[in-house]
Amino acid sequence: MTRQNGTPMDYFKQYIDDSLFEEMALCTIQREVLVSGATLNTAPEELKTFFGNSIYMSCLGYPNIQMYWASNTRVQIVVESMTRNRFYKLRNSVKIVNDLEECKIIEDKSFKKNGRGASEMVVRRSPPELAVIKWLDNKPVAMASSAYGNEPQDTRRTSSFWGRNRLSSLTSNFSLVKT
């Protein structure tokens, strides 16, 4: 591909591929959970839009970011793609480095062999301290917390929908799921 026969997006993807945005979305979500306790619910496509808007806005060069959404200086392509509040939220939250990289937690495939109710916790001791907990319900569930771990655990008897009247024991991380 040459610059003459490709689209601007093709040219852009020669330098920055989709995996970068996937990793950035994951790191951004993890950071927001760590900082605020709430998820940001962003996706790679939204981050592409955010960066596209940022590049476009830098080319136009308005002195204040609010001007792109203001009624008399509105830039339609920016306004239609993202709200001003969402742009600011992403601008303050985007994270490229994985803070959880040192928290090596078991992979889903091998974790499923432990059976329903299994759990694992990995703690990062460097500030800010962080516990990453994974437990197996119907599928693996992972959570990161700077306040809670996987203790205490509780064993309960549950009935199986498919097993009709069969009871089994299930260990749950009730400190995480009990409200």
pLDDT over 80 at 175, yes or no = no
Contact assessment for residue 66 and residue 78, using Cβ atoms and an 8 Å cutoff: no
pLDDT over 70 at 127, yes or no = no
DSSP class per residue in 9-54: HHHHHTTS-HHHHHHHHHHHHHHHHHHHSS-----HHHHHHHHHHH
List the one residue out of 57, 31, 53, 55 whose CA is nearest residue 42.
31
Confidence at residue 134, expressed as pLDDT on a 0 to 100 scale: 77
Higher-confidence position of 158 and 112: 112
Residue identified by tokens 């927001």 is 32
Higher-confidence position of 10 and 27: 27
Token pair of 3, please?
A: 């610059």
Rounded (10°) CA dihedral 74, 77, 79, 83: -150
* Pairwise CA distance, residues 106 & 121, whole Å: 9
Confidence at residue 174, expressed as pLDDT on a 0 to 100 scale: 43
pTM of this prediction exceeds 0.75:
no
Task: Give the pLDDT band of residue 178 (cuts 50, 70, 90).
Answer: very low
Confidence at residue 179, expressed as pLDDT on a 0 to 100 scale: 36
Domains of the chain by residue range = 8-93, 108-177
- Tens of pLDDT along 102-124? 566 667 777 778 877 777 777 76
Residue 41: other Cβ atoms inside 10 A = 9
Angle at 29 between CA 28 and CA 30, to 5 degrees: 90
- Tens of pLDDT along 37-81? 788 889 999 999 999 899 899 999 899 999 999 999 999 999 999
Contact assessment for residue 150 and residue 142, using Cβ atoms and an 8 Å cutoff: no
Confidence at residue 76, expressed as pLDDT on a 0 to 100 scale: 94
- Tens of pLDDT along 14-36? 777 788 888 889 888 888 877 77
Confidence at residue 98, expressed as pLDDT on a 0 to 100 scale: 65
Contact assessment for residue 130 and residue 147, using Cβ atoms and an 8 Å cutoff: no
